[in-house]
Chain A
Amino acid sequence: MSAVVLAAALLSLGLYGVLTRRDLIAVLASIEVMIAGSLLMLVALASATRAGNAASPATVEAVGLLVLVVAAAEAAVGLALLVAVARRRGTTAVDELTEVRG
């Protein structure tokens, strides 16, 4: 058991949440858990392969920051869509949002 296994566990826990939760808010939170897992995987693998690794720790940290920025943008757009859907349809239940039409 190490940080790599922990990261994989977070990713699959988040995936289970995305597949089973029935409310958009919970689905978005599960996606955040998945992103956290993949970010931890990046850092953990960089730490694990440090011996033969060309990338410096600063590069790892910079790439982690870029992942963080993209995740924040994803969260902002996802939550904006959540608000728009809730205003228009009056619900955030995934089961009731089956039409592509607005």
Chain B
Amino acid sequence: MNVSVETIAFWFLATTVVLGAVVVLTTREVMRLIVALGVALLALAGLFGLLGLGFLAVSEIFLYVGGVLVVFLFAIMLARRGGEGAPELATRHGVWPALVSLGVFAAIVVPMWSAIPRGVPSPLASDVTSLAAALLGPLLPQFEIAGIVLLAALAAVVAVVGSERR
């Protein structure tokens, strides 16, 4: 049995994503949570790259690892200035949440179990030129609406955080 580089990379990245997600769910320290989320999202970007979506992978790194994680850090710095007595991130593990999430997992996977392809997914092979043609062609309304959503989010952030300062 010969194992290709793609197979090894896929399993390595998949394991990293799941381990990062598990650390996000269980750690009690804020910084460890941020680092684990960053590792998981980086590995996810690697998976996108493996699937042939290079631009999506780079956007994931720029937007998430470069953008959202920094916003997370700033929010934590603004929200938790407890110093020594800063509370740890508490978790209340239970049977019911586990059953609910296992049920959701089963509800997604079981109906399409026979249709799910085994092994490493085949790459989609997209390029930036056709991506631009899609975004500025048939998907132009959605592209514009995404811009409006971002503007609305920006206004909402200013309204929510700025209104405290009277």
A→B interface (CB under 8 Å): 1-6, 8-17, 19-23, 25-26, 28-30, 32-33, 36, 39-41, 43-44, 46-48, 50, 56-66, 68-77, 79-88, 91-93
Cα separation A94 to B101 with both chains bound (whole Å): 20
A69 touching B139 in the complex, CB below 8 Å, given contacts A5-B116, A33-B21 = no
Residues B130 and A58 in contact, CB atoms below 8 Å apart:
yes
Is B9 on the interface with A (CB-CB < 8 A)?
Answer: no
CB distance from B126 to the nearest CB of A (A): 4
Number of interface residues of B (CB under 8 A): 88
Cα separation A46 to B149 with both chains bound (whole Å): 25
CB distance from B26 to the nearest CB of A (A): 9
Residues B53 and A30 in contact, CB atoms below 8 Å apart:
no
Interface of B is mostly: helix
Cα separation A19 to B127 with both chains bound (whole Å): 39
As a 0/1 sequence over residues 140 to 166 of chain B, the CB contacts with chain A under 8 angstroms (1 = contact) are 001100100110111011001101100
Cα separation A61 to B24 with both chains bound (whole Å): 27
Is B22 on the interface with A (CB-CB < 8 A)?
Answer: yes
Across-interface contacts of A92 in B (CB, < 8 A) = 79-80
A64 touching B56 in the complex, CB below 8 Å, given contacts A32-B37, A73-B149 = yes
B→A interface (CB under 8 Å): 10, 14, 17-18, 21-22, 24-25, 30, 33-34, 37, 40-41, 44, 47-48, 51-53, 55-56, 59-60, 63-64, 67-68, 71-72, 74-76, 78-80, 87, 89-94, 96-98, 100-102, 104-105, 108-109, 112, 115-127, 130-131, 133-135, 138-139, 142-143, 146, 149-150, 152-154, 156-157, 160-161, 163-164
Cα separation A21 to B92 with both chains bound (whole Å): 6
Residue of B nearest to A4 (CB): B116
| B117 touches which of A2, A12, A28, A76 (Cβ 8 Å) | A2
CB distance from B152 to the nearest CB of A (A): 8
CB distance from A70 to the nearest CB of B (A): 6
Residue of A nearest to B54 (CB): A61
